[in-house]
Amino acid sequence: MATDPYAHLAYYERLVLQIKAQVVQGVLLPGDKLPSVREMAKQEQLNPNTIAKAYKQLEADGVIYVEPGRGSFIAEPLRQANTKDIAAFRPKFDALVVEAQSLGISIPILQAWLNEKEGQAEFNDHKIAKKDCRSGCTE
Q: What is the pLDDT of residues 69-124, one digit of tens each?
A: 999 999 998 777 788 888 988 998 999 999 999 999 999 999 999 998 887 766 55
d(CA 4, CA 2): 7
- Residues 15-43 have pLDDT tens digits of 999 999 999 889 999 999 999 999 999 99
Confidence check: pLDDT of 133 > 60:
no
Distance of CA 114 to the CA centre of its chain: 16
Close Cβ partners of 50 (under 8 Å, ≥ 6 residues apart):
11, 12, 15, 41
Instruction: Give the per-residue SS3 of 71-100.
Output: EEEECCCCCCCCHHHHHHHHHHHHHHHHHH
pLDDT range class, residue 49, cuts 50, 70, 90: very high
Residue 137 has pLDDT above 60, yes or no: no
Residue 35 buriedness (CB in 10 A; 0-12 / 13-18 / 19+): middle
pLDDT for res 105: 94
Look at strands 64-67 and 71-74 and give their pairing.
antiparallel
